[in-house]
Amino acid sequence: MSLLITGGTGFIGSHTVVELLALDKDIVIVDNLANSSTLVLDRIKQITGKTVTFIEADICDRQAMQQVFLTHDIDAVVHFAGLKAVGESSTMPLSYYHNNVAGSITLLQVMAEHGVKNLVFSSSATVYGENNPSPLDETMPTSATNPYGQTKLMIENILFDLAKSDEQWSIACLRYFNPIGAHESGLIGENPNGIPNNLLPYVSQVAVGRLAQLQVFGDDYPTPDGTGVRDYIHVVDLAQGHVKALEKLKDISGCVPINLGTGNGTSVLEIVNTFKDISGQDIPYHIAPRRAGDIATVYADASVANNLLNWHAERDLATMIADTWRWQSQNPNGFE
Ligand code: NAD
Ligand code: UD1
């Protein structure tokens, strides 16, 4: 029996594959390399001493997906494949809806045809929208403020309806908070295309000299130092959350939303100062206007993951930043 990992050469997917290989799982990765490189596969082999089956294919390609299920004995799917740049999703909404929503529908249809009804899905804390107070818990109403968020919400709704229609489906819908960090080896990590949108890749590229200075988006939020507060979570903790979710699927009937966060909030300036201390590099920054769509404070109530999956995040902020810096300083140009 094999696990199908869509988007498995990406940031979170590659770290999850490493954790699954440590448990001797047989892995099939499907990725169209839209935002990743096959060089990741060599690094995964260096870390684990093990190989995976890699299939370069698009989840929107029904024939290719059918071929995957015909040639491999898949018993569960971890579905990471998706486009994730919030700004780009507003300028290219059709690409996002097609890739994320239509692609997920194709994947689900092919899974159903082959009787594979175990799924772990990459959702996001973005589905909590702008109006819920933190800590955010899974009972709160959901909404979205941009096309990327809409795609996550639409897929979640499809999964809830699907699970209601057929009780054989077991689905864990994992709502990630802000994944950062990298594998402790420094061999795999986040490698965004172009100028990063997210805080940590931006800060680390300033630290390594690829970018001149950080813009801090707003210092007038109602937070202790005025800058935005988020729940940063180490990508290896997140990856281990997927392992726990896969183990739990046998007890889940239906579709269960589960937050994966630490439950702690950290401000932009705390990130900058910790990064500066740990890397020993200067991080020049200036205060810029608020970024449209940002809210002051976002952090998780992580009790469902704790109680249901017996999982909690173990790595602290210093470890997250030390691992981010090791990856970035050892690979200033990513995997190239
Ligand atoms: P990533 O871009 O590094 O990985 C996604 C992978 O999916 C890439 O390797 C890309 O090439 C692949 N892909 C995209 N469209 C595809 C398609 N149609 N067919 C096959 N492969 C395709 O992103 P990530 O940070 O690892 O995120 C993984 C998932 O988690 C995404 O669904 C993302 O929306 C979700 N998520 C990420 C974050 C975050 O901050 N990184 C937060 C919440 C949710
Ligand atoms: C963003 C997305 C969210 C997505 C998540 C993961 C928006 C509005 N939200 O979340 O939908 O799920 O990424 O991909 O884009 N910051 C700076 N300077 C920067 C970058 C960020 O000050 O150059 C600040 C932000 O204002 C925020 C914090 O850093 O307060 C974290 O930002 P980011 O890493 O982009 O994550 P989110 O905004 O939480």
Atom of ligand 1 nearest to the CA of 59: 19
82: Cβ contacts below 8 Å, ≥ 6 apart:
7, 99, 100, 103, 104, 122, 151
124 lines ligand 2 (CB under 6 A): yes
Per-residue model confidence as pLDDT tens digits over 192-219 = 888 899 999 999 999 999 999 999 999 9
Question: What pLDDT score does 336 carry?
Answer: 79
Identify the active-site residue in 128, 148, 176, 232.
148
Per-residue model confidence as pLDDT tens digits over 25-83 = 999 999 999 999 999 999 999 999 999 999 999 999 999 999 999 999 999 999 999 99
130 lines ligand 2 (CB under 6 A): no
Question: What pLDDT score does 293 carry?
Answer: 87
User: Which token pair is 97?
Assistant: 């809806």
Quick one: which of 193, 200, 124 has its CA closest to 333?
A: 193
Take atom 38 of ligand 2 and give the residue whose Cα is closest.
294
C-beta separation of 82 from 156 below 8 A: no
Ligand nearest to C-alpha 8: 1
State yes or no: is 202 an active-site residue: no
Fold (topology level) of 2-180+233-262+301-314: Rossmann fold (3.40.50)
Burial 48-79 (b: 16+ CB within 10 A, else e): bebebebbebbbbeeebbeebbeebebbbbbb
Does 333 score more than 90 pLDDT?
no
Q: Residue 102 has what DSSP assignment?
A: I
How many whole angstroms from 272 Cα to the centroid of ligand 2?
14
Take atom 43 of ligand 1 and give the residue whose Cα is closest.
124
Take atom 14 of ligand 1 and give the residue whose Cα is closest.
82
| Maximal CA-CA distance, the chain | 56
90 lines ligand 2 (CB under 6 A): no
User: Which token pair is 267?
Assistant: 């401000």
Per-residue model confidence as pLDDT tens digits over 70-102 = 999 999 999 999 999 999 999 999 999 999 999
Question: What pLDDT score does 298 carry?
Answer: 98
Average per-residue pLDDT in the chain?
A: 97
Ligand nearest to C-alpha 261: 1
Mutate to test the pocket of ligand 1, among 31, 96, 234, 298 (most ligand atoms within 8 A of CB): 31
For the chain, what are the domain ranges? 2-180+233-262+301-314
Take atom 1 of ligand 2 and give the residue whose Cα is closest.
198
Containing 24, the helix (H) or strand (E) segment is: none
Query: DSSP string spanning 281-300?
Result: ----EEEEPPPTT--SB--B
